[in-house]
Amino acid sequence: MYSITKHKSKKIANIKQNRFLSIAKLAMPIFSTNDLAKIWNINNRNTLLTNLKRYVKSGLIYRIYRGLYSIKPIIELDPFLLGAKAINNYCYLSGETILVKHGIIFQQVNYFTFIGKKTKRFTIGNYKYYCRQLKDEFLYNDIGIDKTEKFNLATLERAIADILYFSPNYHFDNPDAINWIEVNKIQKSVYNK
């Protein structure tokens, strides 16, 4: 009896170790339940969720948000990547977040702005997010979208074109720093304006 129990616990430990090695190899710190089901080859959702609860309780992984887990605590994660993963659809960082980053607006913005398929406001840890809904025909036009990061990021000119689409009378604190010719090109190409 003892050797069977010992063998079974050793087998479970190996499975657990292999699961965490498989996610460590991917070099992506944030995973959805669907990602983990595929990586760990678990088809039964209840089995997956039970395992996740155990791993969270034992401190092996962190529950970040509904359906999101990480191998790192929230404070060690890139807040932009975290927001993009939580939106869980195609999106890109844009709007006020980009304008503040480039010194185009001076006021403090208390949330990270994304553009995506659905309007959504949410908070993860100390980070606040706002995703503006954009029609698919404009959203999937990748002119002015940098896709080289782990998340999609609007260029300054695309972010301004996005802001002007949502708020045509938007006030920019530093309009002289804007390349209006490029903004106009993006407006024509993306928004048909």
* Inter-CA distances, 118 with 59, 90, 103, Å: 33, 10, 27
d(CA 190, CA 193): 8
The reported pLDDT for the residue numbered 81 is: 93
Calculated CA dihedral for residues 186, 188, 190, 193, nearest 10 degrees: 120
Domain ranges of the chain: 2-75, 79-191
d(CA 124, CA 65): 7
* Full pLDDT tens readout for the chain, 193 residues: 444 444 444 444 555 566 666 676 666 789 899 988 988 888 999 999 998 999 899 888 899 998 999 989 999 999 999 999 999 899 999 999 999 999 999 999 999 999 999 999 999 999 999 999 999 999 999 999 999 888 999 999 999 999 999 999 999 999 999 999 999 999 999 998 7
The reported pLDDT for the residue numbered 17 is: 62
The reported pLDDT for the residue numbered 127 is: 96
Q: Which residues contact 56 (CB under 8 A, 6 or more apart)?
A: 62, 63, 69
Distance of CA 128 to the CA centre of its chain: 12
Q: What is the topology classification, in CATH, of domain 2-75? A: Arc Repressor Mutant, subunit A (1.10.10)
The reported pLDDT for the residue numbered 20 is: 66
The reported pLDDT for the residue numbered 2 is: 46
| Strand partners for 115 | 92, 132
| Strand partners for 68 | 32, 65
The reported pLDDT for the residue numbered 59 is: 87
Q: Model's pTM, two decimal places? A: 0.83
